[in-house]
């Protein structure tokens, strides 16, 4: 069983990672190809491409100007500790034990516009490049065409030795769209998280993102290898709803705190 999550726009390269153990990202050659093109862009180009402020445009212009290989612990950081968005607030990787990190390294993958697919301990340098960006490149009009079926093939190699392979999709639609479900040699389970708001249960973006991280942490800490066990998830007040759920979309509801 594998888990996929989205990356985050917020990054933390200041605090110390809880381990010095690291691995090398599998698609650094492809990342280098993208960076070589990104370096030709101005700060204004970045602002227009990603709909960000001029300050963030300048920041990302500098990031790509400084981006270089080889990666090491002086110029890069393990992905699971570098990302700091809503999903990672829920994940709380800084609290993982060594055994948790080892399990995560085998069972968790982070989708990325620049790096393709990251293992938790893969080193990365700071960047911003959303998967859904309309970034024309040498392989097509956007990043979906750049990565094409490569990420799906990577996941399929990990499923080869599993009897009943399952992918737990805890990524956003934007990032999961980089995977080709019809080519994936595994069942797909996409947990849905709803909060009671304005008189009904509905998906609230911030809470849903955090809950995806919490679900990933729940799987990792409890060494879960069967999707049926996900129904026992009860973190932060969420509870499984049998009535609203299907086998491929288990639904978890939360009442007001």
pLDDT per residue as tens digits for the range 23-54? 999 999 999 999 999 999 999 999 999 999 99
Number of domains in the chain: 1
The pairing of beta strand 108-112 with beta strand 2-5: parallel
Position 169 in a domain: yes
What is the rounded CA–CA span in Å between residue 161 and residue 156?
Answer: 10
Q: Is the pLDDT of residue 122 over 80?
A: yes
The pLDDT of residue 48 is: 96
Which residues on neighbouring strands pair with residue 140, listed in sequence order? 137
Distance, CA of 136 to CA of 256 (rounded, Å) = 44
Q: What is the pTM of this model?
A: 0.96
Domain annotation covers residue 65: no
Residue 96 lies in a domain: yes
Q: In this structure, are residues 167 and 188 in contact, taking their beta carbons and an 8 Å threshold?
A: yes
CA distances from 22 to 10, 14, 156, 187, 224 (A): 21, 17, 23, 30, 24
Q: Is residue 37 one of the residues assigned to a domain?
A: no
What is the domain range of residue 182?
A: 2-25+77-127+148-254
For the chain, give the percent of residues with pLDDT over 70: 100
Q: pLDDT per residue over 136-169, tens digit each?
A: 999 999 999 999 999 999 999 999 988 899 999 9
Residue 137: inside a domain, yes or no? no
Whether 42 is in a domain gets the answer no
Residue 208 tokens read as: 């849903």
């Amino acid at each position: 069983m594998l888990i996929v999550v989205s990356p985050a726009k917020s990054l933390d390269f200041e605090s110390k990672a809880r381990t010095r153990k690291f691995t090398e990202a599998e698609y650094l050659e492809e990342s280098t190809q993208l960076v070589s093109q990104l370096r030709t862009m101005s700060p204004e180009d970045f602002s227009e491409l990603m709909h960000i402020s001029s300050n963030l445009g300048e920041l990302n212009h500098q990031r790509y100007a400084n981006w270089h290989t080889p990666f090491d612990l002086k110029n890069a950081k393990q992905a699971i500790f570098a990302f700091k968005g809503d999903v990672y607030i829920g994940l709380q990787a800084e609290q993982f034990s060594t055994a948790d990190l080892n399990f995560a390294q085998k069972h968790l993958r982070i989708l990325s516009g620049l790096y393709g697919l990251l293992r938790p301990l893969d080193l990365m340098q700071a960047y911003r490049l959303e998967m859904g960006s309309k970034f024309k490149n040498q392989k097509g009009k956007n990043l979906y065409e750049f990565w094409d079926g490569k990420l799906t093939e990577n996941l399929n190699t990990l499923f080869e030795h599993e009897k009943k392979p399952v992918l737990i999709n805890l990524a956003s639609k934007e990032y999961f769209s980089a995977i080709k479900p019809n080519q994936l040699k595994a069942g797909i389970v996409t947990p849905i998280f709803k909060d009671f708001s304005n008189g009904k249960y509905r998906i609230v973006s911030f809470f849903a993102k955090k809950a995806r991280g919490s679900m990933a942490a729940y799987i990792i800490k409890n060494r879960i290898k069967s999707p049926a066990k996900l129904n026992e998830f009860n973190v932060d007040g969420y509870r499984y709803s049998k009535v609203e759920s299907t086998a491929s979309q288990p639904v978890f509801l939360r009442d007001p705190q």
